Amino acid sequence: MKTPTLVKLQPLIAALRAEPLTDNLPESLTGCYISDLLSDVLAHAEPGMIWLTIQTHRNVVSVAATKDVAIVLFTCGRKPNVEIIAEAEAEGIALLTTPLTTYEAAGKLWEAGLRGENGHE
C-alpha cells in the first residue's frame, strides 16, 4: 500500500460548501474514491479516504466501515435519514453533504490538493 499524502479537511469543507451531518470529522484525508456501486468501493476505496456517492441507504455506512473510509460525502444535496447518521457515528464514520454535483465536488477536492496517486492497478 502506498503511503498516503494527508490533506487538511477544514479548507475542503469550505470549498465544497459542505454541511457536516456528524460531529466526528477527521482532521485530514488520505485520498478520494467516487462510486455508487458498493462492491466497487469495497474493491478500491482505501482507509482514511473521502467517498463521494449519491447512495444514502444504510449499506453505505456498512461499506465505509468495512473499508475504514473516513468520510462519506453525499452529493447533489442528498442526506440520509437520522438512523443512518446515528449508525455512522457509532461506527466512527463522518458524514458530509454538499449541494454540488459529484463532478463539481471532485473538482473542488482536486483543486484543494487532494490528488490521486497511482490510479487503479
Other CB atoms closer than 10 Å to residue 12's CB: what's the count? 24
Contact between 66 and another protein per CB under 8 A: yes
Of 53 and 98, nearer to another protein (C-beta) is 53
- The C-alpha atoms of residue 72 and residue 64 are separated, in whole angstroms, by 7
Extract the C-alpha cell encoding 5: 499524502
From 5-13, 25-33, 34-42, 100-108, give the range in contact with another protein by CB under 8 A: 34-42
Per CB under 8 A, the list member of 5, 14, 36, 113 interacting with another protein is 36
Q: How many helices (H) and strands (E) does the chain have?
A: 5, 7
Q: Interface residues for another protein in 73-102 (CB under 8 A)?
A: 91
38 binds another protein per the rule CB under 8 A: yes
Considering only the stretches 18-26, 65-73, 94-102, 110-118, report the one whose residues sit in contact with another protein under the rule CB under 8 A: 65-73
State yes or no: residue 39 binds another protein (CB under 8 A). Answer: yes
Helical H runs in the chain? 10-16, 38-44, 59-66, 82-91, 102-111
